[in-house]
Amino acid sequence: MAFGAGVLILRRAEAQGAALNLYSARHYNTDEALYGNFSDLSGVKINRIDAEPDPLVERLKAEGDKSPCDVFITTDAGRIERARQMGLLQPVTSEVLTKSVPPNLRDPDNNWFGFSKRARVIMYNKEKVSAADAPKTYEDLADPKWKGKLLIRASGHIYNQSLVGSLLAANGPEKTEAWAKGVAANLARAPRGGDTDQIKGVAAGEAEICVSNTYYYVGLMRSKKPEDREVAAKVGVVFPNQANRGTHVNISGGAVARYAPNKAVAVKFLEYLVSPQAQKYFAEGNSEYPVVPGVALSAELQSLGTFKEDQLNARVFAQNNAEALKIMDRAGWK
């Protein structure tokens, strides 16, 4: 990886007061060390603005060509793709990025790049459901056998919009709408809370199966609280659709803002995010999967086993978000 040369370039820039203006919609305390490491390596000061994704996008739009933002990072391809569609990002030419990030995890026109990934999986209560009987596909979630036994967060959350966006690409609108109606009919209760709440509900016997991103589960495994680790121990994990297209995988992604005043530094920062040290940090710091093949996983991620991932480009399911939400709403999945 050519990151070493990039660091030298940034060290030369430091003499001129190099800085990076970062708009971040990632709210993980563990990212502090990641950003600090970049500053230590490069000498570049990071000026960071943290906010929710939609307000950050609106801020970028309102600032226009006066925006100080160099890099925009957020969770979920749907969010960063919205920024691209609004003309708020710019394409990047970087051999480091295009060689490091697999094609399905970056924008085909290089406007944004995934730097960590998370699988959206099915989980089950080990006391109530055997591994053999657990759902094997996302499509299985609509099977009437699970009526009153399923937990999943609200349709308005973008993680579900992206999941359903991938189902739209795989199965088409009619089958996806029928599936969404089946999911709505199988809910144990009206959706509430985040992914961790769904896992805890299954562990407590409120339902038998749920859907969650992997890092929430690994977070419970790694928790210092015995009760959290107990929850994880009661729940099994299924990577769906291993016999066909593979498990839906989403990203945290980064992009250079359209009017970035410090573009060269911004590109080096994105390259840093796919460097071995940063990729290892994603795996160990926030229990996410690295995007770069061959980077060692944490012991907890390794314990989940290997899996086949859906190779659908993230921009495709991201562009399906709006239609996915309409389908879920019509199906009664609120």
Q: Which CATH number belongs to the domain containing residue 144 in this structure? A: 3.40.190.10
Give pLDDT, residue 298: 87
pLDDT at 8: 44
pLDDT band at 11 (very low <50, low <70, confident <90, very high): low
Q: Which domain holds residue 205?
A: 119-247+314-330
136 and 243 share one domain? yes
> Same domain, yes or no, for 148 and 51?
no
Please indicate if the annotation marks 272 as binding a ligand: no
Let me know if residue 89 belongs to a domain: yes
Of 44-53, 103-112, 139-148, 250-259, the one with minimum mean pLDDT is 44-53
- 306 falls within a domain: no
Look at phi and psi of residue 276 and say left if phi exceeds 0, alpha if psi is from -120 to 50, else beta: alpha
Q: pTM score, two decimals?
A: 0.92
One domain, residues 65 and 136: no
Is residue 2 predicted with pLDDT exceeding 80? no
Specify whether 232 is located in the same domain as 292.
no
Q: State the pLDDT at residue 13.
A: 47
Burial code (b: 16+ CB inside 10 Å, e: under 16) for 214-240 equals: bbbbbbbbbeeeeebeebbebbbbbbb
**149 occurs within a structural domain:** yes
Residues 9 and 32 in one domain: yes
Query: Bridge partners of 210?
Result: 123, 151
Query: What does the pLDDT read at residue 84?
Result: 97
What one-character DSSP code corresponds to residue 111?
S
pLDDT at residue 285, rounded to an integer? 79
Instruction: Please indicate, yes or no, whether residues 284 and 211 belong to a single structural domain of this protein.
Output: no
Distances (CA, A) of 321 to 18, 95, 106, 125, 154: 37, 30, 17, 30, 14
pLDDT in tens, 293-324: 989 888 899 999 999 999 999 999 999 999 99
Let me know whether 129 and 97 are in one domain: no
Determine the Cα–Cα distance for residues 63 and 232; give it in Å rounded to an integer: 44
CA distance 234 to 230: 6
Query: Is residue 210 in a domain?
Result: yes
Per the structure, the count of domains in the chain is 2
Is 11 a member of any domain?
A: yes
Rounded Cα–Cα distance for residues 122 and 293 (Å): 24
> Model confidence at 282, in pLDDT bands (50, 70, 90)?
confident
Pairing mode, if any, of strands 19-24 and 45-50?
parallel
196 belongs to a structural domain: yes
When mean pLDDT is compared over 35-39, 54-58, 244-248, 273-277, the highest value belongs to 244-248
- Reported as a single tens digit per residue, the pLDDT across 59-116 is 999 999 999 999 999 989 999 999 999 999 999 999 999 999 999 999 999 999 999 9
The answer to whether residue 302 is domain-embedded is no
| Phi (first) and psi of residue 21, to 5 degrees | -100, 110
Per the DSSP assignment, residues forming a β-bridge with 73 are: 24, 254
Burial class (CB in 10 A: 0-12, 13-18, 19+), 124: buried
Do 81 and 219 lie in a common domain? no
Is residue 35 annotated as involved in ligand binding? Answer: no
Task: Give the Cα separation of 328 and 326 in Å (integer).
Answer: 6
The mean pLDDT of the chain is: 93
Q: What per-residue confidence (pLDDT) applies to 283? A: 76
pLDDT band at residue 287 using 50, 70 and 90 as cut-offs: confident
* Closest C-alpha to 236, from 118, 140, 127, 139: 127
Of 5, 3, 81, 30, the closest CA to residue 316 belongs to 81
Whether residues 257 and 112 share a domain: the answer is: yes
Q: Are residues 196 and 285 in the same domain?
A: no
Instruction: Average the pLDDT over each of 11-20, 164-173, 186-195 and give the range with the smallest value.
Output: 11-20
Do 86 and 168 lie in one domain? The reply is no
For the record, the structure tokens of 18 come out as 């190099």
157 annotated binding-site participant: no
pLDDT band at 46 (very low <50, low <70, confident <90, very high): very high
Contact 177, 324 (CB under 8 A): no
d(CA 267, CA 167): 33
Same-domain check for residues 78 and 146: no
- Is residue 303 domain-resident? no
